[in-house]
Structure 1
Amino acid sequence: MEPLFTPEQLAEIHAYHLPYYVRAAVDPFAKVLLLALLLGVLVRPFFRMATSVAGGLERGLGFLRTAPVSRAFFQAMDRLWGEAGWGAAVIFALMTDLFVKLIYAPVDVWFAYTLEHRHGMSNYTPAAFAWDLFKGHLMGAFAIAALVIGMYGLARRTRHWWWILGVPVALLMLVSAALDPYRSRLYFEQEPLPPGALRTRITELMTQADIPFSDVLVEKTSVASRRLQAYFAGQGPTRTIVLNDVIIQELGEEEVLAAVAHEAGHIHEPKWPGRIASSLALVALLFAIDRLLRRASTRGWFGTTRFADIRTLPLLSLILFVVSLVGGPIAGTFSREREREADRFALRLTHDTDAFRRMLVKAARVNKMDPEPPRWVVLKGMSHPPIAERLASLPTP
């Protein structure tokens, strides 16, 4: 069998992945130290600054509270927060998030732009990269503001807030996948796969697999990345098969079918046990946060003066980071097993081991996959088995 990579390609792949491995090893310690700095030193001055800025805005823009259009917004926010001070809380949350982003900005830009361009994995122009980065930060800011007003505001108004918030959010998590087809459109243009042999064969393959879907779309990611990709988005009436334009260019018809068959394997996974477990875990986590917020208010941590004081937000960030760090290896283990089963499903569906092998080889070469990453990287939470392992598990002709 032809080697997966030439020695030159393998050296290039190792040079490409090594910085990511170094970051994966260093980042947990750096993130904990950064959050510890926030909690130990910066919470109080940041809160004073946020209060001062909010007061200045109130004095300068106070007329908006009585203006016909904006008055309803301010009244709603005051009700949601339960008292005055929501502006300072939101500003404090955005300031702490901005502080972390600014610290990480040089590293993030170097990895996401410089390193990707250096190894030929990115097609981003500086302007397009900056625009997508800005969109991501803007959506993050909206999410943070919603978290502050929603969680902290509710916690201030009712004792069992964790239950009142957790149940509807958990139910939303169960059906949120229906919105997946619309999220990526914030970044990339999509259009239907033109009629032809490939579309016909995909339709026939999904009929054979008993998987209904609404459309097959081509996502134009080549403006940003040279990676090939295929995935299913949505569920029920919104289920969509998405192929990026790179996979259409790089793979033959049989190989695209093999990739679609692999993704189809995820449709038949038993998702409800995992979704229910995640929902229950969310409610349990919110209950633990409630206990933590009560302890912080009782002991006056970080200058807090009452229950659900916004100054505890960096502490919650630290707790959530530790939870994700501990849960990553567990989630990765389950994810890799799901990927193995999806490979087996694809082979049962297509009965074309050779095409599936070619698809994996081409994907590995185009995406510059490390065939044998360090074991600790795999165990830390890799979502897919290493490509060499996937190829070795294929049945021999």
Structure 2
Amino acid sequence: MEPIFTPEQLAEIKAYHLPLYIRSAVSPFIYLGVLALILGVLVRPFYRWSESWAAWLSQRLAFLRTAPVSRAFVKAMDRLWGEPGWGAAIFFALLVNLFIDLVHVPATIYFDYVLEHRYGMSAYTPLRFALDELKGITLQGFATLALVLGLYGLARRVKRWWLVLGIPSALLLLVSSALDPYRSQVYFEQTPLEQGPVRERITSLMAQANIPFQDVRVEKTSVASKRIQAYFAGQGPTRTIVLNDVILQELAPEELLAAVAHEAGHVHEAKWPGRIASSVALVALLFVIDRLLRLSATRGWFGTTRTADIRTLPLLWLLSFSVFFLSSPLSAAFSREREREADRYALQLTQDPDAFRRMLVKAARVNKMDPDPPRWVVLKGHSHPPISERLAAIPPTPEKRAPAGGSPFLTEPSH
């Protein structure tokens, strides 16, 4: 069998991945160090600054408390927070998030822009890269505000807030994947796949797999990345097959069908047990947060004087990081097994191991996948098995036997 990479290609891939492996090993400790700095040194000055900024802004915009429309908003915010002071809470939360983002700016620029360009994996212009990063920071800011006003506001006023917030949030988590087709369009433009043989073959394959879908769309990621990508977004009436424009350029039709068949394998996974477990875990996490908020108020950590004081926000970041870091190896192990099952499903659906093998090899070459990453990297959180393992699991193609009497293409020439 032809090797996946030439020695030169393999050396380049190893050089590309080495900084990423170092980042994977070091970044958790950097994040913990940043949180330790905030918790140990910066909480009190950040909170003082936030109170000062909120007071200054409140004086300058005092007319908003009496204006016809804005006064209703201000009263609603006071009621949500339980008392005045939500402005300082918002400033504090945004200041903490901004500080964490600024600490990681050098690493973000190097790993997501410089390194990707150095090895030909990125098509980002400096402007588009900056705009996308700014877009991500803005979305994160809105999510933080929702957390502050929702979780902290509720926790200040309702004793069993973790149930009041947790149960509807868990139910929303169960069906949130229905919104995936719309979330994926925040960064990249999508257009329907044009009518033609490729679309017809995908439609026929999905009929064979008994998978209804809404549309096949092309996501124009080539403006930022040169990687191959395909995925299913949404569920039920919103299920959409998404192919990026790079995969359409790089793969032959049979190889493209193999990729779609692999993603179809994920549709038939038993997702509900995982979703239910995630929802239960969310409620449990909120309960632990409630205990942590009460403990911090009792002990007076960071100068807190009551339950759900915004100064405990970095503690929640530390708790969340610990939970996800410790659970990542287990969730990644389940993910790798799901990928193996999806590979087996695709091979059974297409009955074309050669096309599936070619698809994986091309994906490995285009995406510069390390065929044999360090074992600790895989165990720490790889969502997919190494590409060498996936290729080794493909059964050999049965050899075609020559018809009786021999074949001019298989017999040796006479001398």
Scaled by the length of structure 1, the TM-score of the pair is: 0.99
Counterpart code for 2:47: F
CA distance in 2, matches of 1:71, 1:108: 41
Output the CA distance in 2 between the equivalents of 1:251 and 1:305: 61
How many Å apart are 1:93 and its aligned residue?
Answer: 0.5
Determine the C-alpha separation between the residues in 2 that align with 1:127 and 1:112.
Answer: 14
Q: Is residue 2:266 matched to residue 1:279?
A: no
Q: What is the CA-CA distance between 1:80 and the residue it aligns to?
A: 1.0
Please give the residue correspondences for 1:325-340 in structure 2 after superposition, counting only pairs within 5 Å: 325-340=325-340
Q: Which amino acid counterpart does residue 121 of structure 1 have in structure 2?
A: M
Q: Displacement of 1:396 after TM fit?
A: 1.2
Whether 1:125 aligns to 2:117 is no
After the TM superposition, which residues 118-157 of structure 1 pair with which residues of structure 2 at under 5 Å, given as runs?
Answer: 118-157=118-157
Within-5 A mapping of 1:295-334: 295-334=295-334
Counterparts of residues 39-78 of structure 1 (less than 5 Å) = 39-78=39-78
- Matched pairs, number: 397
Aligned-pair identity in percent equals 70
**Alignment partner, residue 204 of structure 1:** 204
- Partner residue, 2:256: 256
In 2, Cα distance between equivalents of 1:30 and 1:102: 13
Structure 1 Cα separation of the partners of residues 258 and 5 of structure 2: 21
Give the distance between the partners of 1:28 and 1:279, measured in 2 at CA.
25
Question: How many Å separate the matches in 1 of 2:76 and 2:154?
Answer: 13
SS at structure 1 position matched to 2:156: helix
The residue number in structure 2 matching 1:166 is 166
- Looking at structure 2, the residues matched to 6 and 25 of structure 1 have their Cα atoms a distance apart, in angstroms, of 28
Aligned partner of 1:396 in structure 2 is 396
1:68, CA displacement in angstroms?
Answer: 2.0
Q: Which residue of 1 aligns with 2:293?
A: 293
Inter-partner Cα distance in structure 1 for 2:360 and 2:73: 53
Letter in 1 for 2:225: S
Work out the CA distance in 2 between the residues paired with 1:119 and 1:235. Answer: 36
Amino acid at match of 1:110: Y
Q: C-alpha offsets along residues 26-85 of structure 1, whole Å, 9 cap, x if unaligned?
A: 111111111011001100000000000000000011111222222222122111111110
Distance 2:249 2:66 in 1: 58
SS of the equivalent of 1:385 reads coil
Moved over 4 A (4+): none
Deviation at 1:385, TM superposition (A): 0.2
* CA–CA separation in structure 1 for the residues paired with 2:186 and 2:335: 26
Secondary structure of residue in 1 paired with 2:104: helix
Cα distance in 1 between the residues matched to 2:33 and 2:370: 30
Aligned to 1:100: 100
Does 2:371 match 1:371? Answer: yes
State how far apart, in whole Å, the 2-side matches of 1:79 and 1:228 are.
49
Q: How many angstroms does 1:130 deviate by?
A: 0.7
Query: Which deviates more from structure 2 when the two are superposed, residues 60-69 or residues 151-160?
Result: 60-69
Q: Which residue of 2 aligns with 1:268?
A: 268
In structure 2, what is the equivalent of residue 223 of structure 1? 223
**How far apart, in 1, do the equivalents of 2:242 and 2:75 lie?**
43
Distance 2:172 2:109 in 1: 33
For 2:199 and 2:78, locate their aligned partners in 1 and report how far apart those are by CA, in whole Å: 53
**Residues 154-210 of structure 1: CA deviation (Å, up to 9, x unaligned):** 000100000000000000000000000001211111000000000000000000000
Distance 1:16 1:184 in 2: 27
> Which residue does the alignment assign to 2:413?
none
For 1:73 and 1:126, the matched residues in 2 are separated by 39
Higher share of residues assigned helix: 1
Partner of 2:79: 79
SS of the equivalent of 1:58 reads helix
Q: What secondary structure sits across from 2:305 in the alignment?
A: coil
For 1:238 and 1:67, the matched residues in 2 are separated by: 42
Give me the CA root mean square deviation. 0.6
Structure 2 letter corresponding to 1:336: R
- 3-state SS, counterpart of residue 184 of structure 2: helix
SS of 1:191's equivalent in the other structure is strand
Q: Secondary structure at the match of 1:185?
A: coil
Bigger Rg, which one:
2
Q: Distance in 1 between matches of 2:66 and 2:351?
A: 69
Distance (whole Å) between structure 1 residues aligned to residue 390 and residue 85 of structure 2:
55
What residue number does 1:343 align with?
343
For structure 2, the 5+ residue unaligned runs are 398-415
C-alpha distance in structure 2 between counterparts of 1:75 and 1:127, whole Å: 40
Aligned-partner Cα distance in 1 for 2:66–2:147: 26
Q: Does 1:7 align with 2:3?
A: no
What whole-Å deviation, never above 9, does each CA across 1:99-153 have from its counterpart, x for those lacking one?
1110110111111111100100000011111111111100100000110000000
Could you say which residue in structure 1 is the equivalent of 2:189? 189
Q: Tell me, in whole angstroms, the C-alpha distance in 2 between the residues paired with 1:188 and 1:126.
A: 16
